Amino acid sequence: MKKKMLTKNAFYAQSGGVTAVINASACGVIETAKKHKTKIAKVYAGKNGILGALSENLIDTSLESDKEIAALLYTPGGAFGSARYKLKGFEENQREYQRLIKVFKAHNIGYFFYNGGGDSMDTALKVSQMGEKMNFPIISIGIPKTVDNDIAVTDSCPGFGSVAKYIAVSTHEASLDVLSMAETSTKVFILEVMGRHAGWIAAASGLIAKKQNDPPHMILFPEVPFDQKDFLSHVKKNVQRNGFCVIVASEGARYKNGKFLADAGTKDSFGHKQLGGVAPVLAQTIKKELGYKFHYAIADYLQRSARHLASQTDLDQAYAVGEAAVEMAIDGKKSLMITIQRLSDSPYKWSIGSVDLSKVANNEKKMPKSFIKKSGYGITNSCRKYLAPLIEGEAYPNYENGLPRYTTLKNNLVPKRLKTKFVV
């Protein structure tokens, strides 16, 4: 059979929330595959992630110039589109996995590189299993990515170091602002950051404190149940002592009963439940109980897309996991997720490792207790040691006319080969 002789193509897809450096992983995959043309013919990227595979919308990355592919290193967001779409379990939805294998067969795809978080590793595992079952073995490799830093086993997650740097720097800058105005204006400043289940991003703000009573004065972690009375007494103490209080709050901060502060029952003028953030709830509580003037910022997407302030460490690791995924795949390894292994804290040394997909799928890494101060509002020295190297180094994009030169790819689609359409 002639078809079997053909060099296999690879499929690459971005999954879930994007980051400032997820395109660096794409760049690592594409550039490395190009070095091994006898093993991997072309890299097809899924348009809007896994949906691109299901709907047979495959982007031919070989049609992009080397220069544009290199520019992915400097461009935030997901260059091929990502998707919030989780494939269901085998029993519930075999047809999705069967469709994937059908598309892969039709386009001679022998490699599946899935760039995402814990949920995505579950998908990568299932694709691998389904390939075996359908007698079209596919080498499936997971490439870790998440700003939340909550993927199991890997020491750090590409995407996190950059958001950590952004939040640390932003907290520092806003704190200097508030400090200089506190005498006659804002006394309490709240910065709401991402992190619904784990407080890693909020924790990063703690890196700016050099000595006692330096901002941020309080950090709220999802891992520590929120106690309003205790919280307010700490806010008051900080304002009395420092003249102001800077609070960095995880969006996932919650009460002891698990209820999110952001769901505190705020209603709009129509009486509808308001999908508010945690910052306005905290601000209102402080205003009502302590009377302090407040301001708050909600960083939202700005934090995870802030490529202009990316961490060089993070960028290096994002590229390296993409590169390693291809190298391991052509070495015949499969059903793995690439990991970052920490060899030493200071000087920071790391290497690339791997772990069986089954060990990371749907597994979440929260902040260990030893990383959170006893008060519940700060980070410990062990946490600082862990976080510090991840924000090291500045990896600035090039600028033109005062703005970063972010790239937009052509994203040309591969002609479809299947007659059947697939409705998601």
Mind telling me the catalytic residues? 148
Contact residue for a second copy among 63, 85, 108, 328 (CB under 8 A): 85
Q: What's the CA gap between 102 and 135, in Å, rounded?
A: 11
Contact residue for a second copy among 115, 140, 156, 170 (CB under 8 A): 170
Region near a second copy per CB under 8 A, out of 103-111, 125-133, 165-173, 369-377: 165-173
Contact residue for a second copy among 106, 232, 297, 352 (CB under 8 A): 297
Inter-CA distances, 293 with 185, 188, 296, 351, 406, Å: 7, 6, 10, 48, 39
Q: Which is nearer to a second copy, 356 or 392 (CB)?
A: 392
Contact residue for a second copy among 70, 169, 232, 418 (CB under 8 A): 169
Residue owning tokens 């995402």: 116
Nearest to 197 by CA among 342, 362, 377, 354: 362
Instruction: Please count the other Cβ atoms lying within 10 Å of the Cβ belonging to residue 349.
Output: 11
Q: Which is nearer to a second copy, 338 or 409 (CB)?
A: 409
Q: Is 116 in the site for a second copy (CB under 8 A)?
A: no
Q: Is 295 in the site for a second copy (CB under 8 A)?
A: yes
Q: Is 290 in the site for a second copy (CB under 8 A)?
A: no
Element (H, E) at 245: strand 245-250
CB of 67 to a second copy, least distance (A): 18
Contact residue for a second copy among 53, 141, 309, 340 (CB under 8 A): 309
Three-state DSSP state, 357: helix
Given phi > 0 = left and psi -120 to 50 = alpha, else beta, which region is 393?
A: left
The single-letter DSSP state of residue 254 is: B
Contact residue for a second copy among 99, 107, 254, 304 (CB under 8 A): 304
Region near a second copy per CB under 8 A, out of 90-98, 110-118, 264-272, 365-373: 264-272
CB of 207 to a second copy, least distance (A): 7
Q: Is 331 in the site for a second copy (CB under 8 A)?
A: no
154's tokens? 């890997």
Q: Which is nearer to a second copy, 154 or 170 (CB)?
A: 170
Task: Indicate the angle between helix axes 94-106 and 118-133, nearest 10 degrees.
Answer: 70
Region near a second copy per CB under 8 A, out of 16-24, 131-139, 216-224, 360-368: 16-24
Contact residue for a second copy among 270, 415, 419, 421 (CB under 8 A): 270
| 8 Å CB contact between 316 and 172 | no
CB of 291 to a second copy, least distance (A): 13
Contact residue for a second copy among 237, 259, 394, 417 (CB under 8 A): 394
Residue owning tokens 């410990």: 380
Nearest to 224 by CA among 202, 193, 268, 255: 255
Instruction: Please count the other Cβ atoms lying within 10 Å of the Cβ belonging to residue 153.
Output: 18
Q: What's the CA gap between 367 and 385, in Å, rounded?
A: 14
Q: List 13's β-bridge partners, or say none.
A: 114
Region near a second copy per CB under 8 A, out of 247-255, 259-267, 323-331, 354-362: 259-267
Q: Which is nearer to a second copy, 6 or 176 (CB)?
A: 176
